[in-house]
A and B are shown apart, each in its own frame.
Chain A
Amino acid sequence: MTALKALFARELALAVRIGGGALMAVVFFLIVVTVIPFGVGPDLNVLARIGPAILWIGVLLANLLAIDRLFQADQEDGSLDLIVMSPVPLEMTVAVKALAYWMTTGLPLTLAAPLFGMMLNVPPQALGAICLTLLAGTPALTFIGTIGAALTVVLRRGGLLLAILVVPLMIPVLIFGISATTAVITGPTPFLTPFLILVALSLFSLVLGPLAAAAALRASLD
């Protein structure tokens, strides 16, 4: 347990200090949100209608931005070998690393989303729903991304490949995240049903992600 706590503290420190990328994802998210109105035009009605989709897709992309470094940085300096050889179950280590990644990427993105939503003229009652759905859905994005990060850990240019591998798996999260949000704005479906499925997807990937990622790491480091 102390080993996992120490690892968690290390991951947070690495992300926050110089050279870490804790807020880079939020800046990237802001850039995505800024670029869209240039593409679709400044019409506030259009932006209000597609706003939740822009926010969700922006978070999905921003979440992928740095996840290829999740294990690669440790692999390059050799600490990944030590982590794999330690008596702590690798699945737990992977889960802790993913959790730390979510704390420094998914959580800031979730907190920034309502602010960016106001810029896109998203109705006020939907801002809370976006925040809530992102809070429930970003862990799924992170844990699915963790699988991709582990699969591509030994590849030199794994970043692009990672996106190709994991984005198809993220489609359900996107669907239920957005449908819960639009349920608040327009209906006709209730909010709770897609939201609960979203929570279920996060819990499912909380199990599948560390299992698959740990297996991929073991296979990669053989």
Chain B
Amino acid sequence: MGLTDLANPTRFMSYSARIIPWLWALAVLVLGFGLYMALVVSPEDYQQGATVRIMYIHVPAAYMGMGAYTLIAISSIGTLVWRHPLADVSARAAAPIGAAFTFVALVTGSLWGKPMWGAWWVWDARLTSVLVLFLMYLGLIALWRAFDDPARGARIVAILALVGFVNIPIIKYSVEWWNTLHQPASLMRRDGPSMPPSMLVPLLVMLAGVSVLFVAMHLSAMRNEVLRRRVRAMQITAARAAATAGA
């Protein structure tokens, strides 16, 4: 079985129906284990105390928010080049999930910022570029919703998604320039790889768990979207039949 076989919507529906329960179970297991390690086992930070545990939600959410946009961009290439209906379904299903993860990243970042920086919102370069990413998600979703026929909007939204994807590095770079211009990097210390293994391992487990969760949610949302389109097609056929019968 190659990946191209899965691109057939009917085959996709039958395979995904078999995989999805396992994916959900795996996501619950890994996330449960990860949360236990993050919230109970992992040590407190010597400066931040227990608030450092926000990181175990915040970082995976931010990573998934960016990952989902990448998936939308790849799916958009599929829509534009091969005009494959499942590519549009995949992009469309990923958008609200990605927006939700980005929103979680923003909210947890804000909650983390209050005790650390003394403010709910700081115009930090990272926060600001994630906010812009969130706005771009909302734009994509709004444009999808503006077309009553999903097939018609597919390619137009795909173009917007790709234009946005090309612009994301530019926006990120310029926001960093803007931030360093306005305030020197005094608030945000980047420890990065100097993180001790007792914190790194729970974070990696959480990242893996969130990735599985995303795949499970994405496949489920894709199935819903395929079913929604089938229902819509049936409704249109039924309405046409009723109209001809009435006339």
A residues with a Cβ closer than 8 A to B are: 147, 151-152, 154-155, 158, 161, 164-165, 167-169, 171-172, 175-176, 179, 182, 189, 194, 197, 201, 204, 208, 212, 215-216, 219-220, 222
Contact = CB atoms under 8 A, between A and B. Distances in A.
Contact of B174 (A155, A164, A165, A172): A172
Interface of B is mostly: helix
Contact of A171 (B80, B143, B159, B174): B174
Contact of A151 (B138, B143, B170): B143
Contacts of B167: 168-169, 172
A189 B181 contact: yes
A168 B132 contact: yes
Contact of B156 (A167, A176, A220): A220
B129 to A, nearest CB: 9
Interface in B23-48: none
A165 B160 CA distance: 8
Nearest to A194: B177
Nearest to A160: B142
Interface of A is mostly: helix
18 contacts: A147-B159, A151-B156, A151-B159, A154-B152, A155-B146, A155-B147, A161-B139, A161-B143, A164-B135, A171-B174, A172-B167, A175-B178, A176-B174, A179-B181, A208-B163, A219-B155, A219-B159, A222-B155
Given A164-B138, A194-B177, 15 more contacts: A151-B159, A161-B139, A165-B143, A168-B132, A168-B139, A169-B163, A169-B167, A171-B174, A172-B170, A176-B174, A179-B181, A182-B181, A197-B174, A208-B163, A215-B159
A147 B174 contact: no
Interface of B: 80, 132, 135-136, 138-139, 142-143, 146-147, 152, 155-156, 159-160, 162-164, 166-167, 170-171, 173-175, 177-178, 181
Contacts of A216: 156, 159-160
Contacts of A165: 139, 142-143, 160
A138 B132 CA distance: 21
Contacts of B170: 172, 201, 204
B127 to A, nearest CB: 14
A60 B181 CA distance: 21
A171 B171 contact: yes
A16 B35 CA distance: 64
Contact of A219 (B143, B156, B166): B156
A176 B181 CA distance: 11
Task: Give me the 10 closest cross-chain CB pairs, A-B, nearest first.
Answer: A172-B174, A219-B155, A175-B178, A165-B139, A175-B174, A168-B135, A216-B159, A212-B163, A164-B139, A219-B156
A182 B178 CA distance: 12
Contacts of B156: 151, 216, 219-220
A208 B143 CA distance: 20
A172 B146 contact: no
B139 A175 contact: no
Contact of A147 (B147, B163, B178): B163
A201 B171 CA distance: 11
Nearest to B166: A208
A179 B182 CA distance: 9
Contact of B146 (A152, A167, A168): A152
Nearest to B163: A212
A172 B159 contact: no
A210 B105 CA distance: 34
B150 to A, nearest CB: 13
A172 B171 contact: yes
A82 to B, nearest CB: 21
Contacts of A168: 132, 135-136, 139, 164, 167, 171
Contacts of A194: 177
